[in-house]
Every structure is written in structure tokens, then in C-alpha cells.
Amino acid sequence: MQIDIGIAEGDRKAIAEGLNRVLADTFALYLKTHSFHWNVTGPMFNTLHTMFMTQYTELWTALDEVAERIRALGYPAPGSFSQFSKLASIGEEQGVPKAQEMIRQLVEGHEAVARTARQVFPTAEQANDQPTADLLTQRLQIHEKTAWMLRSMLE
Ligand SMILES: [Fe+2]
């Protein structure tokens, strides 16, 4: 059935494509954070193991919000490793870095998702797509706050 929510098809497509990149970055960061939860070692183990769990749980919940917004705009949500690796701007970590390096990589990851979300914002705003603008605002807030908290541990 045709979608008639007051957003032109071209705008819906452009926003959905932008959200695909937000979804892929969020997934890449989710996976990295969960693997760091498993693999972190050192004197900060307890703090980091627990903190990474809080963070990956938040990212996991956000994945669903972003994917379902893509669906509401009328497009399929990407959901495979190959699609995500093509779309994501965050590189994967195959080794087990030291705790400090994990924190540094997560700061970079949260900053990268913030940049991607911010790039999509003008498209959503100009198309009068308030739910996407609201979702992106929430994502920006959480990624910038988490980046600050992680960055503070490195000083
Ligand atoms: Fe666990």
C-alpha cells in the first residue's frame, strides 16, 4: 500500500539511506562495546566490564529504534554483516587491545556515530520529519555524553 504521511518519496528515501548509515555505525559500535565487555582486563576490570555492559545495552535498544524508523519511512532495514560493513564508518577491532586503548576506540566510535547522525539531521529537518529529527537528537545527546564520559577516563 502507498505511504502517505506527508513526506515526499525522495525525502523518505534520502532519510532512510542516512538512517541506514546510523544503524550500521550503531551496530559496529554495539558489537565492539560488547566484545570489550567480554575481553577487558586489568585493574579497571570491574568498572569497565560493568560500564561497557550499560553502554552495549543502550546501543542494542537504539538499534531497534533506528531500524523501526527506517521501516516506518517505507524502506527495508539492513540487517546483515556484509551490509553493515559496507555502510559503517567505524572500523572493527579483531584483536584484544589494552583497557586504555579500548576506551580510546570507544570515544572514537561514539564520535563517529555522532558525526553520521549529524549529517542526516538537515535532510530530516528540511523534509519536516520530526520523528527522525527527534530520534537523531536523542542519539546525538547520548553519543556525545558517552564520548565525554569515556574521554574523561583518559585524562
Ligand atoms: Fe556479560
CATH number at residue 112: 1.20.1260.10
Contact in structure between 111 and 147 (CB atoms under 8 Å)? yes
Tell me how far the alpha carbon of residue 46 lies from the centroid of ligand 1, in angstroms.
Answer: 11
Report the mean per-residue pLDDT for the chain: 98
What is the pTM assigned to this prediction? 0.97
Distance 37 CA to ligand 1 centre (A): 7
Residue 44 CA to ligand 1 centre (angstroms): 16
- Domain carrying residue 96: 9-152
Q: What is the pLDDT of residue 81?
A: 97
Name which of 144, 141, 142, 134 is nearest 72 in CA terms: 134
CA–centroid distance, 114 to ligand 1, in Å, is 26
Residue 2 placed within a domain: no
What's the CA-to-centroid distance between 152 and ligand 1, angstroms? 24
Task: Answer whether residue 91 is part of any domain.
Answer: yes
Q: Report how far ligand 1's centroid is from the alpha carbon of 23 (Å).
A: 23
Is residue 40 one of the residues assigned to a domain?
A: yes
pLDDT, tens digit, for every residue of 86-117? 999 999 999 999 999 999 999 999 999 999 99
Chain centroid to Cα 141, Å, comes to: 12
Block residue for cell numbers 556515530: 113
User: Does residue 1 belong to any structural domain of this protein?
Assistant: no
| CA of residue 78 to ligand 1 center, whole Å | 26
pLDDT in tens, 41-57: 999 999 999 999 999 99
Is residue 51 within 8 A of residue 69, CB to CB? The reply is no
pLDDT at 153: 97
**52: CA distance to ligand 1 center in Å?**
9
